[in-house]
Amino acid sequence: AFSQDIDHILETQSALAVDLGGTNLRVAIVSMRGKIMKKYCKPNPKTYESRIQLILSMCEDALQDAVRLNCRILGVGVSTGGRVNPQEGVILHSTKLIQEWSSVDLRTPLSDTLHLPVWLDNDGNCAALAERKFGHGQGVENFVAIITGTGIGGGIVHHHELVHGSTFCAGELGHIMVSLDGPECTCGSRGCVEAYASGVALQREAKRLHDEDLLSLEGVELKKVEAVSAVHLISAARQGNTNAQAVLKTASTALGVAVVNILHMMNPSLVILSGVLASYYQSPIQDIISQRALVSSQSIKVVTSDLEEPALLGAASMVLDYSTRRTY
Amino acid sequence: AFSQDIDHILETQSALAVDLGGTNLRVAIVSMRGKIMKKYCKPNPKTYESRIQLILSMCEDALQDAVRLNCRILGVGVSTGGRVNPQEGVILHSTKLIQEWSSVDLRTPLSDTLHLPVWLDNDGNCAALAERKFGHGQGVENFVAIITGTGIGGGIVHHHELVHGSTFCAGELGHIMVSLDGPECTCGSRGCVEAYASGVALQREAKRLHDEDLLSLEGVELKKVEAVSAVHLISAARQGNTNAQAVLKTASTALGVAVVNILHMMNPSLVILSGVLASYYQSPIQDIISQRALVSSQSIKVVTSDLEEPALLGAASMVLDYSTRRTY
Ligand SMILES: [Ca+2]
Ligand SMILES: [Ca+2]
Ligand SMILES: [Zn+2]
Ligand SMILES: [Zn+2]
């Protein structure tokens, strides 16, 4: 009977998870075991006011559904792009991917309206938290999570805890520079790994090849340049297109060199890749490590994540870990 | 009388510090207050056997002098090039700068012969420990020490403790790559910051310019190419030699980009530079930070060390901290 009670509590204790990305605003009800009970998705509004309003209304809808689903919501966890002060619940600074999203106190309006405790951190750090609680990072003392999607983000776990740094700017893995010059980055610098290997960077190169009529694809007719994406680049490379192969080689090398830089700085035992390009990059990263890492850090493992929603699960894990610990 | 006793204990409690570099083997008696009471220096032998013998005989001489100097030696601290497992007291792997110095248990022969506890770590980590105990790092929660000499090393302090990583390969700051290709490095990779900005790298470029008759220096006649060094390069640049200026610009940019990479990964509040090139590099690094670092990590301070002997003081600090704590 006791173990049944525990099971029941574990099944009903849940979190609201919010994920604020460059494109979408998503909310989910996540159980203690990491099951996504229900998920909501809308385009992320372009202004601060309408964004806050939409977060609140989506959360209120989810809270009503949670009652019907027999989920007891312990709090709200938010994953967002940009630099975050998780102690104050403030978004310090965002790049242009999310507009009107710098110096924003997100905790106060959410907790005032929803009457729930609110935690937040950036998307990369949330991906790492998700791995620590539900993924390959469980029980691993030192690991790094890298998420390659539209941009590149990540989080560093050292002695089982996230590294936030002195001004909450640690783990900004997309802005590790792998070139003294290199392509321009959204952050204002050049040569960042994000400007070489992110989905946006690959799309930029794919469009360039398409413009120059160098991205021919068997059985595919690309009329509109807008439709060209990283997927076409990868397909073309697999069909033997040497231009596409060269672009992907540079992107993979850039990401591999960034990973080796992480090894030489933090020396984790595990690197976990997530995002749409994770499976593509895994093997080239391993190659670059064997070519360019110090002997003492060759033993590192590079794996791809098994989690379908790292940002949402990581956002939920802040609620599930902290509210049951009763400390913050 | 009590405070006098404490003063007396602090003055007599001391450490033997050993520094194993590519050129020299040095031993020092270091007081609890960080004063170097006596220092010994010999060329570092090329073989394992003669190196161990020389360390032991220099330490035995120092122990005799310590008695005369009224210094009570609590233990031996060793700073060495290469990757070190400080828990086991083993040098895991060294580059060719120090030969026959991989998979070496240094603790056992030293403690067996000298009958003292022995601590060791690599030179970069010792530089960081020296700053933590005696330098600008005192009381600073998160900082990074970078030492630019023949090579480039460093150590990362996070939550007041050194970061060693999963295979003792953390803080290998000289092997942060800032280029996908770039000059060859002693580690076997290319584009490491050490291959751009170390003393050896600058000397390589100075010799190249000298060979091509491009390193003219007012009032200096350089006959032998062996005598050409980083110092000449810096002098030539100050006299307006554009070739020398270009080389130093690239070196400074490389080191600045490596520092920004550290900021984006660990986000320390302070970067401490030491070594012969520290004062030269301080201002260009600050420039690169303002040009290329994320807004949230612009507040970082870059300072040059006040310590004359970071490696020896760091080696001593392991003895002075651990033997008085009575834990390891
Ligand atoms: Ca992050
Ligand atoms: Ca180090
Ligand atoms: Zn960037
Ligand atoms: Zn190297």
Closest Cβ–Cβ partner in B83, B173, B292 for A177: B292
- Choose among B266, B257, B273: nearest CA to B310: B273
Q: What is the four-CA torsion angle of B207, B208, B210, B213, rounded to 10 degrees?
A: 170
Q: Could you give the 3-state DSSP secondary structure of residue B326? A: coil
Centre a 10 Å sphere on the Cβ of residue B93 and count the other Cβ atoms it contains: 16
β-strands A143-148, A152-158: how paired? antiparallel
User: Helix/strand/coil (H, E, C) string of B25-93?
Assistant: EEEEEEECCCCEEEEEEEECCCCHHHHHHHHHHHHHHHHHHHHHCCCEEEEEEEEECCEEECCCCEEEE
CA nearest to A256 within chain B = B180
pLDDT digits (tens, 9 = 90+) for B152-164: 999 999 999 999 9
Residue labelled with tokens 């405070």: B3
**Burial of B326 from C-beta contacts in 10 A (0-12 / 13-18 / 19+):** exposed
Centre a 10 Å sphere on the Cβ of residue B255 and count the other Cβ atoms it contains: 28
CA nearest to A169 within chain B = B267
Instruction: Copy the structure tokens of residue B83.
Output: 């990757």
Q: What is the pLDDT of residue A223?
A: 64
CB contact under 8 A, A265 and B166: no
Supply φ then ψ for residue B310, to 5 degrees.
-60, -40
pLDDT digits (tens, 9 = 90+) for A91-150: 998 877 789 999 999 999 999 999 999 999 999 999 999 999 999 999 999 999 999 988
**Burial of A92 from C-beta contacts in 10 A (0-12 / 13-18 / 19+):** buried
pLDDT values of chain B reduced to their tens digit, one per residue, 328 residues? 566 666 676 678 999 999 998 889 999 999 999 999 999 999 999 999 999 999 999 999 999 999 999 999 999 999 999 899 999 999 998 877 789 999 999 999 999 999 999 999 999 999 999 999 999 999 999 999 999 988 999 999 999 999 999 999 999 999 999 999 999 999 999 999 999 999 999 999 999 999 888 887 766 666 666 678 898 899 999 999 999 999 999 999 999 999 999 999 999 999 999 999 999 999 999 999 999 999 989 999 999 999 999 999 999 999 999 877 644 4
Distance, CA of B131 to CA of B311 (rounded, Å)? 10
CA nearest to A289 within chain B = B189
Closest Cβ–Cβ partner in A176, A179, A268 for B264: A176
Centre a 10 Å sphere on the Cβ of residue A222 and count the other Cβ atoms it contains: 16
Distance, CA of A315 to CA of A80 (rounded, Å)? 9
Name the minimum distance, in Å, from the CA of B19 to any CA of chain A.
22
Q: Which of residues 107-146 of A touch B (CB under 8 A)?
A: 141-142
CB contact under 8 A, B268 and A171: no
CB contact under 8 A, B187 and A141: no
User: Helix/strand/coil (H, E, C) string of B234-299?
Assistant: HHHHHCCCHHHHHHHHHHHHHHHHHHHHHHHHHCCCEEEEECCCHHHHHHHHHHHHHHHCCHHHCC
CA nearest to A175 within chain B = B264
Instruction: Copy the structure tokens of residue A75.
Output: 């709090």
Distance, CA of B110 to CA of B102 (rounded, Å)? 17
Q: Which of residues 166-195 of B touch A (CB under 8 A)?
A: 166-173, 175-180, 187-191
- Choose among B95, B10, B64: nearest CA to B324: B10
Q: What is the pTM of this model?
A: 0.93
Whether the pLDDT of residue A219 is over 70: the answer is no
Residue of A166, A290, A297, A298 to mutate when probing chain B, most B C-beta within 10 A = A166
For helices B242-266 and A242-266, what crossing angle results, to 10°? 70
Contact assessment for residue B178 and residue A178, using Cβ atoms and an 8 Å cutoff: yes
**DSSP string for A127-172:** HHHHHHHHSTTTT-SSEEEEEESSSEEEEEEETTEE---TTS-TT-
Average pLDDT, chain B: 93
Q: What is the pLDDT of residue A273?
A: 98
What is the distance in A from the centroid of ligand 1 to the CA of A88?
17
pLDDT digits (tens, 9 = 90+) for B92-126: 988 777 899 999 999 999 999 999 999 999 999 99
CA nearest to A184 within chain B = B292
* Residue B123 among the catalytic residues: yes
What is the distance in A from the centroid of ligand 3 to the CA of B227?
41
Closest Cβ–Cβ partner in B169, B177, B299 for A261: B177
Q: Which of residues 281-300 of B touch A (CB under 8 A)?
A: 291-297, 299-300
Residues β-bridged to residue B36:
B30
Q: Which residues contact A290 (CB under 8 A, 6 or more apart)?
A: A298
Q: Which of B123, B181, B211, B321 is catalytic?
A: B123
Contacts of B142 in chain A (CB under 8 A): 165-166
Surrounding ion ligand 3 within 5 Å at CB are: A 175, 185, 187, 189, 192
To the nearest whole percent, how much of chain A has pLDDT over 70? 93
Contact assessment for residue A43 and residue A23, using Cβ atoms and an 8 Å cutoff: yes
Instruction: Copy the structure tokens of residue B200.
Output: 């050896």
Contact assessment for residue A9 and residue A323, using Cβ atoms and an 8 Å cutoff: no
Distance, CA of A240 to CA of A106 (rounded, Å)? 49
Name the minimum distance, in Å, from the CA of A165 to any CA of chain B.
5
Residue A274 — very low, low, confident or very high, per pLDDT cuts 50/70/90?
very high
What is the distance in A from the centroid of ligand 2 to the CA of B126?
8
- Choose among A164, A171, A169: nearest CA to A144: A171
Per-residue pLDDT, averaged over A208-234, amounts to: 80
